[in-house]
Amino acid sequence: MNRIEKKEIAPDASKVFQSEVRSFAPDITRKELCDMVDDYIYYQTDDISREEAYSIVDITCRMH
């Protein structure tokens, strides 16, 4: 996955990342997946705080 240069596209990137993880680890638990998504969003998005990353994960991963 590439760096996410604009945090506005992070929610879409989160969904793509989730899909890719599920494709190679279909039995992954929701918690493990959400933790991976959180780390991905936080470390790959320019100028994003940990709180903003948590918020994106809540919207795109934990609520689904």
Q: At 53, list the tokens.
A: 């990353």
HEC states along 9-58?
HHHHHHHHHHHHHHHHCCCCCHHHHHHHHHHHHHHHECCCCHHHHHHHHH
pTM to 2 decimals?
0.86
The pLDDT tens digits for 29-39 are 999 999 999 99
The confidence score (pLDDT) of residue 64 equals 55
Instruction: Tell me how crowded residue 19 is: count the other CB atoms within 10 A of its CB.
Output: 9
Residue 45 — φ and ψ, nearest 5°?
-105, 130
The pLDDT tens digits for 9-28 are 999 999 999 999 999 999 99
